[in-house]
Structure 1
């Protein structure tokens, strides 16, 4: 019922051309705007590696050998913001994803950025498993790296917003031997929460999705029993599909009785909105700092 109310389960029935248009983030900005954002991701992250030394290339999952980087440590254990990069599950890396570390470190918050194997090398089931393994690693072993495992927050952009939702979803914690309240707060940005339309889009060229994948890997179809506070953010210049998905997921979260704030960021597009986290004077950063500063108990816990 909640999915019907949010309108997320009807998009797959749209004409293929309409789906492709509404989810083609790259076509929503000029080439120079896209390339500038990619350069800024890397430049900001390179600067953070110098300004916020920490632990690099920490293996979090022996099965895949994947690693994460940790920035912004202090004299006492710090809350950690786990950031998951986007790239439609087939591009970018943790080397492009640490641009917010200096800003958060100035407020006593550590940043962890995660690599995961990309499509088409692996399928989405495996990508989700690896990201969940990263969160479980921070909870089990984060204390050894200067982190407070009881204050893990997560965020990500675009495909990283979907993977943030995968960490918020229910039903996976027992397999990783972690508590359902592992995540204390989240900020999915420009996320994808119902994979139905994606399964019928151009994304199938590198990431085939069957009905079972849509059912098991869509955060909108796997809400948890207890939900932490989240900020569902998207850019004013988003493609229509990404905007609908953010609004729909926010409504689902609230409809389940969990706290969600919907944040539409003015003057930003799908690619540069997340760069606002590199600056302290932005609405997005202020919202994230407020989220991490509120030690709320997840609803339903």
Structure 2
């Protein structure tokens, strides 16, 4: 009998006041967009489908380079509008920040989302010169790691210097044994082809895997697995869980932002 792993990947069930986080994220994101004014360019289109847009945030001076943040939500939820505030740390250090949207399940398969994120970054990279660094959270951590995999050769590949997957889903095979798969429709072939831990990293791309030390054991395992298979560092941020591990992206002096940009 196949084991149901749904509980292993249920984050909100183990976080106090979990329901308060999404509205707070949305409020903080809207507040930053208001403060930035015309330096917040939202809804930029990279394709014709409804969710094929990205938001671009500009620093006060010429950008040092482009930082990309890819949102999570188990490939089934959210859009760029909830995450604008996470651009604040990089903006303070004169980096431009792109936050791509992508078509969600069940309308899209994960492989298609990978292609869409690459396309969004391609357009953002045409608008911003300099090095590229990519981070993302949870499902977005998976997608950020996919951008560094050797099977992908985007036109901006030579500009990508670093990825920092945050709480990434690095091996998708266990997710086939969760109730989420009724929506994701992962099969063995796609799970293998889209699992960064089962793929080689492009040698020139630096990687540090990030995770909250208080996350579910499955996410600690996923982070450690990617760090071992890619032979790269991993960092378990003390005291942080799956919903607040991303907060340090808003702080230009945080260790997370320093790891990403320095």
TM-score by length of 1: 0.80
Q: Return closer, same or farther for 1:227/1:215 CA change in 2, 3 Å cut-off.
A: farther
Alignment partners' CA distance in 1, 2:55 and 2:85: 12
Instruction: Please tell me whether the aligned partners of residues 86 and 156 of structure 1 are also in contact (alpha carbons under 8 angstroms).
Output: yes
Q: What corresponds to 2:240 in structure 1? A: 268
Instruction: Please tell me whether the aligned partners of residues 90 and 118 of structure 1 are also in contact (alpha carbons under 8 angstroms).
Output: yes
Alignment partners' CA distance in 2, 1:202 and 1:101: 33
Instruction: Please tell me whether the aligned partners of residues 122 and 156 of structure 2 are also in contact (alpha carbons under 8 angstroms).
Output: no
Q: Return closer, same or farther for 1:58/1:179 CA change in 2, 3 Å cut-off.
A: closer
Q: What corresponds to 1:24 in structure 2? A: 10
* Displacement of 1:168: 1.2
Residue from 21, 32, 42 that aligns with 1:56: 42
Instruction: Please tell me whether the aligned partners of residues 100 and 121 of structure 2 are also in contact (alpha carbons under 8 angstroms).
Output: no
Alignment partners' CA distance in 1, 2:152 and 2:164: 20
- Structure 1 gap ranges (5+): 1-13, 255-259, 294-301
After TM superposition, the structure 1 = structure 2 runs for residues 178-189 of structure 1, keeping only pairs within 5 Å, are 178-189=155-166
Determine if the alignment matches structure 1 residue 167 to structure 2 residue 147.
yes
* Displacement of 1:135: 1.9
- Structure 2 gap ranges (5+): none
Alignment partners' CA distance in 1, 2:79 and 2:51: 15
Instruction: Please tell me whether the aligned partners of residues 102 and 116 of structure 2 are also in contact (alpha carbons under 8 angstroms).
Output: yes
Alignment partners' CA distance in 2, 1:285 and 1:40: 21
TM-score by length of 2: 0.91
Alignment partners' CA distance in 1, 2:212 and 2:236: 6
Cα displacement string for residues 5-27 of structure 1 (whole angstroms, at most 9, x for unaligned residues): xxxxxxxxx9523x222222222
Which 4+ stretches in 1 moved above 6 angstroms? none
Residue from 190, 215, 218 that aligns with 2:192: 215
Q: Return closer, same or farther for 1:182/1:281 CA change in 2, 3 Å cut-off.
A: closer
Q: What corresponds to 2:117 in structure 1? A: 131
- Aligned with 1:112: secondary structure? strand
RMSD of aligned residue pairs (Cα, Å): 2.0
Q: What corresponds to 2:87 in structure 1? A: 101
Cα displacement string for residues 204-226 of structure 1 (whole angstroms, at most 9, x for unaligned residues): 12101111101211111221342
Instruction: Please tell me whether the aligned partners of residues 63 and 94 of structure 2 are also in contact (alpha carbons under 8 angstroms).
Output: no
